[in-house]
Structure 1
Amino acid sequence: MSQLLRTTRVLAWFILTGLSVAIILASSFYLYLRPNLPPVEQLLDVRLQTPLRVYSRDNRLIAEFGEKRRAPITIEQIPTIQLQAFLAAEDARFYTHYGVDIKGLVRAAVELVTTGSIQSGGSTITMQVAKNYFLSRDRTFIRKFNEILLALQIERELDKERILELYLNKIYLGNRAYGIAAAAQVYYDKPVTELDLAQMAMLAGLPKAPSAYNPLANPERALIRRNWILGRMKELGYITADAWSLAKDAPLTASYNTREMEVDADYVAEMARSEMVRRFGEEAYTEGYSVFLTVGGEKQQAATDALRAGLENYDRRHGFRGPIGQLDIDGMSEEDLSGKIQSYPKVEDLIPAVVTSIDDEKGIARLHLRNLGAGTMPMATMSWASRYRTERFTGPKPEKPSDVVSPGDVVYVKASLSGQPDAKQPVSDEPQPEDDNSSQKKSQTIQASLAQIPRVEGALISLEAQTGAIEALSGGYSFSQSKYNRATQASRQPGSTFKPFLYLSALENGRTPATIYNDAPIVFEDSELETAWRPQNSSGQFYGPTTLRKGLYRSRNLVSIRLLRDLGIQTTLQYLEQLKLPTANMPANLSLSLGSGLLTPMELARGFAVIANGGYDVQPYLIERIEASTGEVVYQAPETKLCDSPCTADTGKPDETRERTETPETIDGMTLPASNADGQPTTPRIMERLADERSVYIMHSMMKDVVRRGTGRRALALNRDDIAGKTGTTNEQKDTWFAGFNHNLATTVWVGFDQPAPLGRSEYGATTALPIWVDYMKTALKDRPSAHMPRPNGIVNIRINPETGERARPGEEGLFELFKQEDAPDPLKARDNGHQGTNADDDLSRQIF
């Protein structure tokens, strides 16, 4: 008995010593690690890495930037059964333990020994929160001990609901989806509240191993994991046996879903992304900012579509350049064709397809389209495809499919469904899940039309003239093909679209629409040139004495040259600077009158917006406001104020004592307003008057004649009386333009090759750029009333003789013309034949000769 007592005492001392050593070691670890542990309060201020989202003015999603897809959600927004699915999978005793579950650790160890794998895991949800928010994923004992200490600390300071909410928003669930809301969208394209029980269990199975149990990558393992979780939910009393039976037999319905972009505006999105990074650095991608732009969704989509259609139409006029590739299709199965065609990328709505056979008798080519399978291409969709030779010449018109394509050719096509009920329904080449209408779709066939990626490029920029807000912008045919934004970066010769600025300078310097200049040949000798310069009109003809009004709407080059010589080159350049048009790339010679300087489409559009709004400055901008992830507005575009003389920033009213403000900093033609430390603008955006409103009003009248009677007549298709504009074509048709406006909206379109080259015969601003402009403006001006510039005081209407520019005599045929009051023709002046509307007799020889 004494021996047993001694043995008991020894064991007790051993146990006590072991416990003491364990306590000392644990205390030492705690004292060593505790100072380096982060405070739990940081969890309350944690900023989940949420992507940058870009929206149109009407809240349509344009783009999303960031590596992590996340949509933070509150615990109240998550169905109870979904919470129970995660508890069954990860931590069934979550509401009873204090951060560390001893039973769970023991159960995990038993599962590891008996099955060779761990189904439920040993870490609690609280421990996972500690790891995900504060710690690395290193598999070390130190990290695990830190995790336990943090979990205990978190449990002391946060309630269970808050811990569970943090977990469900942070956990990684595969396919770049972080948090349950993002995962529900990625795998099922649904909000969390619309998932069924089987889908909820599937998501709950992902935290343990997002790759191994991913329903897209490993559907068999994912199904096993899902059904195990459903079984646990039944054991724990979360679901009934009937619900378990139905859910475990449910098929896998997961598919990869990305959030659909609602507006096709990649160039605009990139401009917004660049500006956000400039403002916020790399945090722009992770802090959950929402950027709301000035572009409207419908207008922006119309701009994108109009530019693409116009470039495609030009490209078709110049012939088919042949297939983009060739496949040896002998002996290939449908599966083989599907694999081979995947190496050719889809470009916008152009889908690669391989020609499998040709039936000239039926007039069709049979195809295999990427991700769509078999289809047919009728001859009617290939009739445009004369073989390309040069931009000026094409081969003969094809008469049968074999004149265009051959078996094995890889070509781009546009696809639609043929048959009943919707024969022209567009088709995407993205794989689509079966739905209730799948049998109906199978009864339809894919009909394709031949297409090709245009080599020509273009740009469209549309500005709200009164504020400078960018209404729509497209910088090229395809952002995926070229990220070069031609709307803001391409400096090109504006050609005749420059002439309105020259003519406005003339109106500001005493000339009138009735001033006569001679449209006659002229030769300039220059020792620096190998040959003399002999400028001509685009028609090659000359028309004699011409009023400035007619010279503008007929786009007479010789009139513009003589006008510039009369005004003086330096006077004109100074006036351009007054209008805030960049002159660094403007030549100081007479070729300036024909638009030989360099301007970007944005710069030209801004200049026309100045004319459109009545002569006020325009500072283009794109970002309307920026919201933080909390919904707080961290930036709001400043209010725009128009002012007829230098204004105070607080009232926008004239302040004659204040000096004219300096031009604000700009990037790519967009204004970057001054802002305080919080990103809020410090002053309104002040638009000061740059041009006499009477001169601008007369210019509106002259440019409306360009549309009614001149080179812009195609714009009459809009059936509006408020449209003014100007076409432009440079030498050899290398650049073609149309810039048009009403009082509220100014839009400019450019078409040309990135490396300047002739567009071909019969290609002018009126045939390439103007149709794109009209196509866009049909949408932009839809349901909007006419917007004319109000007539200012100091304008008079006088009947003139159009041959002389002087007042018409009583009984003499004439037409009414607009004049500034001080520039009106003198009624008492003797009218010599051929005299001009100015009063300087000695200027006549310069204008006539």
Structure 2
Amino acid sequence: MQVARNFFLHKRKEFTRKFNEILLAFRIEEELTKKEILSLYANKMFLGKTAYGFAAAAQVYYGKNLSDLSLAQIAMIAGLPKAPSAYNPIRNPIRATQRRDWILGRMLKLASISEPQYLAAVAEIDTATYHGSASELDSPYVAEMVRQEVIQKFGAQAYTEGYTAITTVDSAMQTNGVKALQAGILAYDRRHGYRGAEDSIEDASLWAPRLNDTPSVGPLEPAIVIAVANDRLNLMTKNLDVTTLNWRDGLKDLRLYKSVNSRSAPIKSALDIFNVGDLIRVQRNPDKSIFLSQLPKVQSALVALDPFNGAIRTLVGGFDYDQSRFNRVNLAKRQPGSNFKPFIYATALNSGFTPASIINDAPIVFDDFKLEDTWRPENDGGKFYGPTRLREALYRSRNVVSIRLLRRMGFDRTFQGLQSFGFNTSDMPSDLSLALGSYALTPLEIATGYAMLANNGFKVTPYLLDKIIDRDGNVIFQASPEVACDPCSGTPETLTLEQRSGDLAVEEQLEKLFSDISQTTANNGKDYSWESIKQSLKTLPLTEFKPAPRAMDPQTAFLIDSMLKDVILRGTGRKAKNLNRADLAGKTGTTNGPRDAWFSGYSPHLAATAWVGFDDSSTIGRNEYGGSAALPIWIDFMASALADKPEIIRPQPNEIVTVKIDPITGKRVTPDQPGIFEYFKTKNLPEAPQGSAEGAKSDQNPLPDDIF
């Protein structure tokens, strides 16, 4: 029955699933021999560390083929199926060894081995270490997505044929993405107070086994308090060392969690909240010193795409994969809030509105039979600001303006625009709250939309799996994404992948590629050769580019990009100015409660989305916003991702002109009148004031502080 469940069914505890499992089990027993069923089971079972099947586990834990393992090592792997995490020889060596010895004892009792073999095996010191690729250490969510995609393409044979999966993920970006996400979550957690010890173990003889059985989660190590003073704690850490956590290492100004919106006053003594035997969490500083922390309850997701072709460069589905395997990047549908507004505004710009169009930011009341109560939408803070230009409404995230804009456009026109951007509107309600991001989407769907904004209006499709190579070095699958180019030759916007990779020699490019490999492989066999893969990649023909469809014209793309740059220059994303780049644009998002915090943004090099929230949709705190919870993660990640990337300033396209307007009315003014400068499509140019020359003077160059 486990074969039926693992190959064909989900693992949710449902009656219908169990019933289908029974029927499938009977069918499998009719069609296959017991040996074939056992073979399927042995090659499918998850055995920890992204190893699926016993042959893969032999490679991951011991770096050997299954046939080369010792008796003790075979027994160790045989103990994994019951609990791959609890009996993992790397994370829990003591418990895993106990399990190994029990299995050896059973083998002796059943006469499968002799007593000398038994005594030699139990005396053998286990040498399990991680033998996977470096990128796997930081990308378990990626590895699981790739595994599912490979199985979908090639079926169960993928477990036994020694396939190598090469992803689009950049290993350096991925590592920095994990660090940025974890740092952002822990910063949020510290702002909301300390919730106390995880557990209390009074019996000192149980401290060492408990530490061995308690896994680290992300950068958080378990430790047990062995002595408490007013200003310090003595701790036993996971490696059984004894160390001191001083007052300055997280105890000073420590406040206790009371609710998501309140904390206690700072503690005056460690004796107030800690006791001997408390199981707590600590983090390591770069100098290996420790400071107090705790397991966070809040979660997050981070995903970054190459706007040119949709390649996923970074994907982090949660704080720690072993803590929660739920991939929030592609599975968590959450309301995006104001993070969705750019797509409403882009539709408006494509429908005749301009950045200077005036919408009245005034109270509005809706009595709708679809709603349980009268709806009175408000801006954050409850204030209204009167007639407002669309540009200002977007960078200040004015809710009422967005609602009135959607109502003026109508749902048919809006849905048509959203469909062209790649969103599935079939389930979207004809509800004005859509303008505020009430329709739930995944972070990957949002990031894909922002990639379109970053690449000048082309609809690209995200993809993670780049190539699959068999054990003989044959490329049996290669992605062929549509790319942001029209036509696909010659212009800066249409650089080939070869041009975009710089001037690296072929060998250097290959070495970088191999450092980025995210490999989920079964039994490689003795004939498996990395050299054959290298040679295969060298001789692989260049992929012919397929142009991606345009989702918006270059003029609309330029205007919305200009407006989103203002979010960072003078709006809710001002913290990102610390990156000191002129090619950044983006938008914050915060939902009612607040329950979700978002920031999505981009440069021409990369589009990224960060989300923070609780899995159960509980509130994150009244003082938390997209700009406080999600934006710091995005900034931390993009600072490293763009560190060696030059700024790319988008050129002003044809049929876009700059004229001087009145910032209050949005109307055009004469060159000698006070005003600000704004971009317009030539077909939407506001009328020149009476008595002035037609059009703006070509020698009127605005000062930087006078623009917008």
1:521 Cα shift?
Answer: 1.2
Pick the aligned partner of 1:323 from 182, 197, 200: 197
Aligned residue identity for 1:295: V
Q: 1:471 and 2:283 equivalent?
A: no
Unaligned runs of 5+ in 2: 1-41, 76-87, 91-111, 495-540, 693-708
1:342 and 1:282 map into 2 onto residues whose CA distance is 35
Pick the aligned partner of 1:543 from 385, 406, 423: 385
Aligned residue identity for 1:173: S
TM-score in terms of structure 1 length: 0.62
> In the TM superposition, what are the counterparts of 1:588-599 in structure 2 within 5 Å?
588-599=430-441
Aligned residue identity for 1:772: I
Q: Residue in 1 aligned with 2:218?
A: 348
Preserved CA contact (<8 Å) 2:168 2:464: yes
1:681 and 1:753 map into 2 onto residues whose CA distance is 44
State the SS of the aligned residue for 2:338.
helix
Change in CA separation of 1:459 and 1:830 when aligned onto 2, cut-off 3 Å: farther
State the SS of the aligned residue for 1:630.
coil
Change in CA separation of 1:602 and 1:762 when aligned onto 2, cut-off 3 Å: same
> In the TM superposition, what are the counterparts of 1:731-810 in structure 2 within 5 Å?
731-810=592-671
Q: 1:552 and 2:424 equivalent?
A: no
Pick the aligned partner of 1:296 from 170, 177, 190: 170
Q: Residue in 2 aligned with 1:524?
A: 366
1:782 Cα shift?
Answer: 1.1
1:516 Cα shift?
Answer: 0.8
1:731 Cα shift?
Answer: 1.0
1:268 and 1:610 map into 2 onto residues whose CA distance is 23
1:307 Cα shift?
Answer: 0.8
State the SS of the aligned residue for 1:711.
coil
Aligned residue identity for 1:474: V
Preserved CA contact (<8 Å) 2:222 2:237: yes
Query: Which range is displaced more, 500-509 or 578-587?
Result: 578-587
1:781 and 1:51 map into 2 onto residues whose CA distance is 39
Pick the aligned partner of 2:147 from 273, 289, 304: 273
Preserved CA contact (<8 Å) 1:52 1:284: no
1:214 Cα shift?
Answer: 8.7
State the SS of the aligned residue for 1:471.
strand
1:282 Cα shift?
Answer: 2.3
Pick the aligned partner of 1:368 from 233, 236, 242: 236
Aligned residue identity for 2:466: E
User: How big is each residue's C-alpha offset from its partner over 1:271-322, in whole Å with a ceiling of 9 and x where there is no partner?
Assistant: 0111111122222222211111101111001111111111111111111111
State the SS of the aligned residue for 1:389.
strand
1:68 Cα shift?
Answer: 1.5
1:684 Cα shift?
Answer: 5.7
Q: Residue in 1 aligned with 2:506?
A: none
Q: Residue in 2 aligned with 1:604?
A: 446
Pick the aligned partner of 2:581 from 720, 723, 726: 720
Aligned residue identity for 1:356: I
1:769 Cα shift?
Answer: 0.3
Aligned residue identity for 2:247: M
1:791 and 1:177 map into 2 onto residues whose CA distance is 65
1:325 Cα shift?
Answer: 0.7
1:261 Cα shift?
Answer: 4.7
Aligned residue identity for 1:281: G
Preserved CA contact (<8 Å) 2:317 2:328: yes
1:359 Cα shift?
Answer: 1.5
User: How big is each residue's C-alpha offset from its partner over 1:689-746, in whole Å with a ceiling of 9 and x where there is no partner?
Assistant: 1111100101111100000000000111111110000000111111110000012211
Query: Which range is displaced more, 391-400 or 717-726?
Result: 391-400
Pick the aligned partner of 2:259 from 390, 395, 400: 390
Aligned residue identity for 2:447: A
Change in CA separation of 1:575 and 1:402 when aligned onto 2, cut-off 3 Å: same
Pick the aligned partner of 2:475 from 617, 627, 633: 633
1:681 and 1:810 map into 2 onto residues whose CA distance is 53
Q: Residue in 2 aligned with 1:259?
A: 131
Change in CA separation of 1:549 and 1:777 when aligned onto 2, cut-off 3 Å: same
1:71 Cα shift?
Answer: 9.3
Preserved CA contact (<8 Å) 1:52 1:288: no
Q: 1:811 and 2:696 equivalent?
A: no
Pick the aligned partner of 1:414 from 283, 286, 293: 283
Change in CA separation of 1:347 and 1:727 when aligned onto 2, cut-off 3 Å: same
Preserved CA contact (<8 Å) 1:51 1:288: no
1:550 Cα shift?
Answer: 0.4
State the SS of the aligned residue for 1:690.
coil
Change in CA separation of 1:216 and 1:296 when aligned onto 2, cut-off 3 Å: farther
2:613 and 2:68 map into 1 onto residues whose CA distance is 50
Identical aligned residues as a percent: 40
Q: Residue in 2 aligned with 1:512?
A: 354
Aligned residue identity for 2:281: Y
1:169 Cα shift?
Answer: 8.5
Preserved CA contact (<8 Å) 2:298 2:614: yes
Change in CA separation of 1:69 and 1:525 when aligned onto 2, cut-off 3 Å: closer
Preserved CA contact (<8 Å) 1:51 1:69: no
Aligned residue identity for 1:353: A
2:657 and 2:120 map into 1 onto residues whose CA distance is 75
1:382 Cα shift?
Answer: 2.6
Preserved CA contact (<8 Å) 1:51 1:287: no
User: How big is each residue's C-alpha offset from its partner over 1:322-370, in whole Å with a ceiling of 9 and x where there is no partner?
Assistant: 11111114xx35xx4212333433222222221111111xx21011122
Q: Residue in 1 aligned with 2:106?
A: none
Preserved CA contact (<8 Å) 1:52 1:290: no
1:518 and 1:214 map into 2 onto residues whose CA distance is 83
Change in CA separation of 1:327 and 1:689 when aligned onto 2, cut-off 3 Å: same
State the SS of the aligned residue for 1:732.
coil
Aligned residue identity for 2:53: G
Preserved CA contact (<8 Å) 2:460 2:484: no
Change in CA separation of 1:401 and 1:800 when aligned onto 2, cut-off 3 Å: same
Preserved CA contact (<8 Å) 2:182 2:218: no
Preserved CA contact (<8 Å) 1:585 1:598: no
Change in CA separation of 1:384 and 1:470 when aligned onto 2, cut-off 3 Å: farther
Aligned residue identity for 2:209: G
Preserved CA contact (<8 Å) 1:579 1:607: yes
1:722 and 1:636 map into 2 onto residues whose CA distance is 32
User: How big is each residue's C-alpha offset from its partner over 1:637-663, in whole Å with a ceiling of 9 and x where there is no partner?
Assistant: 11544454999xxxx9xxxxxxxxxxx
Aligned residue identity for 2:270: P
Pick the aligned partner of 1:68 from 36, 52, 55: 55
1:787 Cα shift?
Answer: 2.3
TM-score in terms of structure 2 length: 0.74
User: How big is each residue's C-alpha offset from its partner over 1:784-813, in whole Å with a ceiling of 9 and x where there is no partner?
Assistant: 001233322111011111111111124211
State the SS of the aligned residue for 1:688.
coil
Aligned residue identity for 2:568: V
1:544 Cα shift?
Answer: 1.2
2:219 and 2:116 map into 1 onto residues whose CA distance is 35
Higher-Rg member (1/2): 1
Preserved CA contact (<8 Å) 1:68 1:176: no
Pick the aligned partner of 1:307 from 164, 169, 181: 181
2:116 and 2:473 map into 1 onto residues whose CA distance is 37
Preserved CA contact (<8 Å) 2:299 2:614: yes
Q: Residue in 2 aligned with 1:827?
A: 688
Aligned residue identity for 1:546: T
1:372 Cα shift?
Answer: 2.9
Pick the aligned partner of 2:571 from 706, 710, 724: 710
Change in CA separation of 1:685 and 1:600 when aligned onto 2, cut-off 3 Å: farther
2:115 and 2:388 map into 1 onto residues whose CA distance is 77
